[in-house]
Amino acid sequence: TSEKMSPYENYIEAAPLNFFLTKVFGIPNHYNSSLAVGIKDILSASMGNLISSAQFNYMFDIPWLVQQYPEQFRSKPLLIIHGSQRADKTTLHENAHRYPNITLCQAKLDIMYGTHHSKMMFLLYDNGMRVVIHTANIIHNDWYQKTQGVWISPLFPKLASDQDLSQGDSVTQFRKDLLEYLGAYGTNKHLQEWQETIRQHDMSSAKVFIIGSVPGRHTGASKMKWGHLKLRKVLQEHGPDGSTVKDWPVIGQFSSVGSLGSGPENWLSSEWLESLSTVQANGIVKLSKPKLNLIFPCVENVRRSLEGYPAGASLPYSIKNARKQQYFNTFLHQWRAFSRGRSRASPHIKTYTRISPDAQYLAWFIVTSANLSKAAWGAYEKNNSQLFIRSYEIGVLFVPSKVEENLKLFNVQGVDSSKDSMLFPLPWDVPLTSYTQTDRPWLWDIAYTDKPDSQGNMWCPS
């Protein structure tokens, strides 16, 4: 009951979807008090008495990370899973060397241009464990003035030693899918110990699906395990029915864009949109493909942001790719998050959803590390017989019926307050805001010297 739990714990459990944004420095406190967490909140003793933890990520500032743990937890065993190679790996080892409790684990990246992009925490306490899946690097800037997403699991209790380990999975097979994702890293002693720890915990309270990506050319039974085909498989079995979402748009929101091909039919509006517009397979004839709306900051969104143009250092869309795919601009909408006080907190979160035309209902929602790229989501090869993925990614998919039985949709703007609906805290504003005639998507490798940014500076990348 609430009086027993610490105010913070009470607050976490009170958020039925466990989906938070990170606290932003420099916006009214109201927008940081509800459904917002900082890294110190996540690691705080009010979440549990930490025994050990693991941090999966792309970029790490190790001394800064250690300082984010409460003082009494700073010497607990910490496993860092990264994808750094060569000089970056050497730097990481130099920075970790002085912490005897820190062990480094390099995720294998045998495929060119692949990155270890997944952002996840394992937090083992004396009374259970939590899994946190999020979008922020382990550096100060990513937790300071950006919009980032965080899913914090409920506290997963340890299984009694006599309970057989086949117990303790959820209606979304969360634990099975998490173990399968970890299995893809191959044999690493420390990761295998965490797999054993996970097997010993009851994760039946997890209400989200895992949508992961691992590098490889996935065929046969593995083809639907990862990337956009995992999403397609989950939506075929547990997605909305075709009649409900006929003509509902798909929305993608991200902080980086890959090379998508010379036209929308190469990948974006074909295989990728087909997966995101998958409906429950019950024999209805193929529905018309829905409209696709994309959210990516324009130059003005970046210029006016709290950080100014430097926010664009985390929005790595290159002129080289942009030049090849002008059609991409026709899908674009501005970053606006007035409802969350974050219109000026540049987005590093990545979210994907299917929304009703009046923007009142959601059929499903994903928060993930995956940007809009073939590297992250995968691309068909060999006549659709294999899915080629370059990077590690992980995200969670919210499906109404798995969050609450008989719940068919999430509602968005608190209008439909009838009992059988659940409000979903969207990170960005609906209806979407189009680019103006003069707006251009932010590109990080060209100069902007017409107008100074919110800090009075210009942007002159070398």
Ligand X SMILES: O=C(O)c1ccc(Nc2c(-c3ccccc3O)nc3ccccn23)cc1C(=O)O
Is 30 among the catalytic positions? Answer: no
How many of the other CB atoms lie within 10 Å of CB of 172? 22
Q: Which helix (H) or strand (E) holds 167?
A: none
Least distance between ligand X and beta carbon 444 (Å): 8
Least distance between ligand X and beta carbon 289 (Å): 27
What is the rounded end-to-end Cα distance, in angstroms, of the chain?
Answer: 57
User: Of 277 and 368, which has the nearer Cβ to ligand X?
Assistant: 368
User: Of 117 and 342, which has the nearer Cβ to ligand X?
Assistant: 117
Q: What does DSSP assign to residue 418? A: S
User: Of 149 and 290, which has the nearer Cβ to ligand X?
Assistant: 149
For residue 445, give Cα distances in angstroms to 306, 320, 436.
20, 9, 22
* CA dihedral of 83, 86, 90, 91, whole degrees rounded to 10: -70
Are 24 and 344 contacting, i.e. CB atoms less than 8 angstroms apart? no
Q: Which stretch binds ligand X (CB under 6 A): 113-121, 126-134, 293-301, 413-421?
A: 113-121
Q: Which two tokens stand for residue 430?
A: 């609906």
Least distance between ligand X and beta carbon 310 (Å): 11
Q: Which two tokens stand for residue 426?
A: 């969207």
Judged by CB under 6 A, the residue of 68, 141, 145, 256 near ligand X is 256
**55 forms part of the interface with ligand X (CB under 6 A):** no
User: Of 138 and 306, which has the nearer Cβ to ligand X?
Assistant: 138
User: Of 316 and 452, which has the nearer Cβ to ligand X?
Assistant: 316
CA distance 256 to 348: 9
Least distance between ligand X and beta carbon 373 (Å): 8
Judged by CB under 6 A, the residue of 117, 225, 333, 402 near ligand X is 117
Are 435 and 334 contacting, i.e. CB atoms less than 8 angstroms apart? yes
Q: Which stretch binds ligand X (CB under 6 A): 112-120, 414-422, 432-440, 445-453?
A: 112-120
Q: Which stretch binds ligand X (CB under 6 A): 110-118, 238-246, 319-327, 431-439?
A: 110-118
Site for ligand X in 135-164 (CB under 6 A): 137
Least distance between ligand X and beta carbon 407 (Å): 31
Angle at 111 between CA 108 and CA 115, to 5 degrees: 65
User: Of 59 and 458, which has the nearer Cβ to ligand X?
Assistant: 59
Judged by CB under 6 A, the residue of 255, 334, 343, 356 near ligand X is 255
Least distance between ligand X and beta carbon 201 (Å): 27
DSSP secondary structure of 84-106: --HHHHHHHHHHHTT-TTEEEEE
Active-site pick, 218, 228, 333, 348? 348
Q: How big is the site for ligand X, counted in residues (CB under 6 A)?
A: 10
Site for ligand X in 272-331 (CB under 6 A): 314, 316
| Segments of 110-215 assigned E as strands | 120-125, 128-134, 146-147, 149-152, 209-213
**115 forms part of the interface with ligand X (CB under 6 A):** yes
Site for ligand X in 119-138 (CB under 6 A): 137
**58 forms part of the interface with ligand X (CB under 6 A):** yes
User: Of 334 and 373, which has the nearer Cβ to ligand X?
Assistant: 373
Is 116 among the catalytic positions? Answer: no
Residue type (1 letter), 51: I
Are 17 and 34 contacting, i.e. CB atoms less than 8 angstroms apart? no
Least distance between ligand X and beta carbon 374 (Å): 12
Site for ligand X in 321-380 (CB under 6 A): 371
Beta bridge partners of 213: 393
Judged by CB under 6 A, the residue of 113, 246, 247, 385 near ligand X is 113
Q: Which two tokens stand for residue 408?
A: 């068919």
Candidates 262, 179, 227; CA nearest to 378 is 227
Q: Which two tokens stand for residue 89?
A: 């790996």
User: Of 2 and 91, which has the nearer Cβ to ligand X?
Assistant: 91
Q: How many residues does the chain have?
A: 462
Q: Is the peptide bond before 28 cis (omega within 30 degrees of 0)?
A: no
Candidates 18, 220, 188; CA nearest to 103 is 188
Beta bridge partners of 292: 250
Least distance between ligand X and beta carbon 29 (Å): 27
Q: Which stretch binds ligand X (CB under 6 A): 16-24, 46-54, 111-119, 200-208?
A: 111-119
**What counts of helices (H) and strands (E) characterise the chain?**
14, 22
Active-site pick, 117, 134, 201, 218? 117
**448 forms part of the interface with ligand X (CB under 6 A):** no
For residue 265, give Cα distances in angstroms to 227, 268, 285, 429.
19, 6, 21, 28
Alpha helices (H) in 118-215, listed in sequence order? 174-183, 189-199
Q: Which stretch binds ligand X (CB under 6 A): 109-117, 124-132, 394-402, 408-416?
A: 109-117
How many of the other CB atoms lie within 10 Å of CB of 419? 5
Least distance between ligand X and beta carbon 348 (Å): 6
User: Of 77 and 316, which has the nearer Cβ to ligand X?
Assistant: 316
Binding site for ligand X (CB under 6 A): 58, 113, 115, 117, 137, 255-256, 314, 316, 371
What residues are labeled active site?
117, 348
